Structures are given as C-alpha cells and as structure tokens.
C-alpha cells in the first residue's frame, strides 16, 4: 500500500543510503550539524529532511517524482536515490534510454547485508519498478 503522504517517515536504511550518497559525491560532514540532526530527530527521516541534510553538507537536494516516459536527459545526476512504496530505498547508478529517448531500464546498485555491493547493477524496467515504486527520487547536486 502506498503511503498517505509524501512526508511519511522513511525506513532508517534510507538515511544510511543518503549519507553514503552524499559522501560518494564529495560532500563532507554537515556545516550545521545541530540543525540537520534536530530535524531528523524531531521530524523523523522524510524526503524533505533528506533534502535539508544534503543542504547542511553543501549539496543541492532535489526531490522529484519520475514518471514513465521521462527523458533520460531530464535526470540531473547519477547515482540518485529512489524511495519504494514500503519506504525503503535503493541507489540508481544509471538509466538506459529507449528508442524514443525516454528512460527504459534502471540500473540499481545491489547492496548486500554486509555493506558490500554486487559486481554489477541489477537491471529493472518500468514494469518491474512500478509494482514497488511510485517514482519518488532524490538527487544531490
């Protein structure tokens, strides 16, 4: 079942993935740790609080809902975070375009329980993803 609100609290694993993504993109510790931490403690982990977390580290956070037919050229950065209906998340490493230039296949980073990643990404098309994903995405620039 889909969440009632875009601001529903996310699974705590999403915070870990967002922090890893920020670090991977070169954004260090928060410039104002108190504000970022207070937001996460008081409000819980939401897409909006993850945007604020990125901004506290100097990144521009962009929250967007992607739909079938989105042009690959409209994706602002890789990797990016997608949030599933169950409020967990995964990192998209890339997207291959279809004949019309729209996003066809998402290359999902497979993360193991021990924190390592698989040798290559998992390929999922829109039909695969629509069962578990409503299109919520978070980009850090």
Q: Which pLDDT value is given to residue 26? A: 92
Q: What is the pLDDT of residues 67-79, one digit of tens each?
A: 988 999 999 999 9
Q: What DSSP letter does each residue of the chain carry, written as one string?
A: ---SSTTSPPPHHHHHHHHHHHHHTT--S-TTHHHHHHHHHHH-S-HHHHHHHHHHTTPPEEEEE--TT-BGGG---SSEEEEETTS-EEEEEEEEE-TTSBEEEEEE--B-TTS-B-SSPEEEEHHHHHTTEEEEEEEE-
Average pLDDT along the chain: 83
Q: What is the pLDDT of residues 6-44, one digit of tens each?
A: 567 888 788 888 988 999 999 977 665 555 555 555 567
Query: Per-residue pLDDT for 116 more than 90?
Result: no
Q: What is the pTM of this model?
A: 0.81
Domains in the chain, CATH or no CATH each:
12-140 (3.90.70.10)
Banded model confidence at residue 66, pLDDT cuts 50, 70, 90: very high
């Amino acid at each position: 079942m889909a969440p009632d609100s875009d601001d529903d609290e996310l699974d705590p694993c999403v915070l870990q993935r967002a922090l890893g993504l920020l670090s991977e993109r070169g954004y260090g510790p928060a410039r104002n740790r108190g504000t970022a931490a207070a937001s996460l403690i008081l409000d819980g982990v939401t897409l909006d609080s993850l945007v604020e977390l990125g901004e506290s580290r100097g990144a521009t956070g962009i929250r967007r809902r992607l739909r079938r037919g989105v042009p690959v050229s409209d994706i602002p950065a890789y990797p990016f975070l997608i949030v599933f209906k169950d409020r967990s998340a995964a990192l998209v490493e890339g997207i291959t375009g279809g004949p019309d230039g729209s996003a066809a296949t998402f290359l999902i980073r497979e993360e193991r329980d021990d924190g390592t990643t698989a040798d290559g990404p998992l390929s999922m098309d829109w039909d695969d993803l629509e069962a578990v994903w409503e299109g919520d995405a978070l980009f850090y620039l």
